[in-house]
Amino acid sequence: MIVMKFGGTSVGDAERIKTVAEIVKSQIDRDPVVVVSAFSGVTDGLIRLANDAVNKNSSLEEIRNRHFDVMKDLGLDASLIRHELEELEIIIRGISLLKELTPRSLDLAISFGERMSSKILAAYMSKLGLDAKPYNAYDIGFVTDSNFGNAEILEETETNIREFFNNVKSPVTVVAGFIAKDKQGEITTLGRGGSDYTASVIGAALDAEEVQIWTDADGIMTADPKIVKGAKTIDYVSYDEASELAFLGAKVLHPKTILPAVKKNIPVKTLNTYNPTHRGTTILEKVDKQSGIISIASKKNIKVINIRSPKMFLAYGFIARIFDIFANLRIPVDLVSTSEVNISVTIDGKYDTERLVEELRRLGDVEIRNNRASISVVATRLASTPGIAGKVFSSLGDNKINVEMISSGASKINESFVVKEEDADDAVRILHEAFFGE
Ligand code: ADP
Ligand code: ASP
Ligand code: MG
């Protein structure tokens, strides 16, 4: 069997959904399990709706019409998602009455994106004679911890999924990705972009022959094609390189997607719904290729936190104390750079830093720089390839782009550095030109 995951960009409108159904149909002999995201923009829309509900009246109108329009074009009856829309309306009213939005109620509200898209896709596929049935990921066994907004999947999920599929009868299962439940039965989500992870967890549980991630780009490319027009498809990348790229900002894959595939050595492919005959990228355990640059990734909206303390000089355990503070506040550290009396780290800009700064100040002077971006060059055998760092910094310097922090990849496959957010796209283009010639 195979897993086919279709992202929001693949289910943005009725035409796209028709294409998705055709793509599934063309591989029906491979016994596909389909995983689907919310329609593009719907998760953002639901987050806005829930936030607006705290302060003012917010209306479901836009979300409702978006789905109704697609369903009308597909010839489906609006009653299909009546129950979901009614429940969502009650939740939004609840948020507005309480004037409070907790991470738990936000997860509940945004779960409706996938809950509706999966029903619509399954109904349309059935209309084409595919006999598809929709399920929410928690109904097929996805259990997580209670870290709302970024929940971690618990081990028992794998056995649950296997048991579920031992008993399921419908030929095509359409799973609403991204969502799960904790042990108390509350709805959780896996973090933005998390339905890729849903797909690979199912793939590993069922020993899939392959996991396909269908999106709107011709596979994993030498840079984000929205930034670099001349970006090219990379035919093969290793699990390590793909994980690194995803972690360093290449949105085409959720950073956790590769982990379950590694466990079972399952190939992951990224393919283009808009160009379905394109070969895309195949991600494998080992890829036999020359050393050299693979891709340039960037991540915007990051914060640089600089801690300076003379006490750090020749002291034991100082850095450990700093990292303990981040760990206790559950703020993941991305890049790190240290000197004798100084440590700089980057974190995602979405984290609130008030408590963090308060606690770090006990250890030294703290400075925060907002609106930064990290740029990363990912290469095969980077550490043993001479001249990469030199070329990176001289081409940026020639173009007057100021580099604020450097973190050479301990992983031996990346070289990362920080620039002002407004310089990020230019930096990616300059490096792409320097290494790929366009
Ligand atoms: P989906 O809705 O299908 O999950 P995403 O928007 O999450 O799609 O991911 C696809 C996007 O990832 C592409 O449209 C592209 O802009 C972006 N992207 C970033 N880096 C890369 C890269 N190296 N290769 C391909 N796409 C990339
Ligand atoms: N719909 C979710 C999001 O927008 C999950 C996903 O797209 O994978 O983040
Ligand atoms: Mg995505």
371-420: per-residue pLDDT in tens? 999 999 998 766 666 778 888 999 999 999 999 999 876 667 788 999 99
Which runs of E-coded beta strand occur in 12-131? Answer: 32-36
pLDDT at 301 over 70: yes
The minimum-distance atom of ligand 1 relative to the CA of 296 is 23
Ligand 2 lined by 195 (C-beta under 6 Å): yes
Ligand 2 lined by 38 (C-beta under 6 Å): yes
Distance CA 110, CA 106 (A): 6
pLDDT at 357: 96
- Section 91-95 average pLDDT: 95
Cα(22) to centroid(ligand 2), Å: 22
Q: Model pTM?
A: 0.94
Nearest 5°: CA angle at 132, between 126 and 136? Answer: 130
Cα(328) to centroid(ligand 1), Å: 32
Q: What are the residue ranges of CATH 3.30.2130.10 in the chain?
A: 293-436
Residue 426's alpha-carbon distances to 28, 180, 377, 420, 430, in angstroms, are 43, 39, 14, 11, 6
The minimum-distance atom of ligand 2 relative to the CA of 196 is 8
pLDDT more than 90, % of the chain: 83
pLDDT at 204: 97
**Residue 70 pLDDT class (50, 70, 90 cuts):** very high
Q: Which of 69, 73, 10 is CA-nearest to residue 272? A: 10
Nearest 5°: CA angle at 193, between 275 and 23? Answer: 30
- For the stretch 247-284, pLDDT in tens is 999 999 999 999 999 999 999 999 999 999 999 999 99
Ligand 2 lined by 8 (C-beta under 6 Å): yes
- Partnered with residue 32 across adjacent β-strands are 2
**Residue 313 pLDDT class (50, 70, 90 cuts):** low
Residue 296's alpha-carbon distances to 62, 330, 364, 385, in angstroms, are 37, 28, 34, 16
Distance CA 323, CA 329 (A): 10
What are the backbone angles phi and psi of residue 332, rounded to the nearest 5°? -70, 140
- Fold type of domain 2-288: Carbamate kinase (3.40.1160)
Q: What are the residue ranges of CATH 3.40.1160.10 in the chain?
A: 2-288
**Residue 5 pLDDT class (50, 70, 90 cuts):** very high
Ligand number, closest to the Cα atom of 194:
2
Cα(62) to centroid(ligand 2), Å: 18
- Partnered with residue 346 across adjacent β-strands are 304
- For the stretch 208-246, pLDDT in tens is 999 999 999 999 999 999 999 999 999 999 999 999 999
**Residue 1 pLDDT class (50, 70, 90 cuts):** very high
- The correct CATH number of 293-436 out of 3.20.20.60, 3.90.1010.20, 3.30.2130.10, 3.10.180.10 is 3.30.2130.10
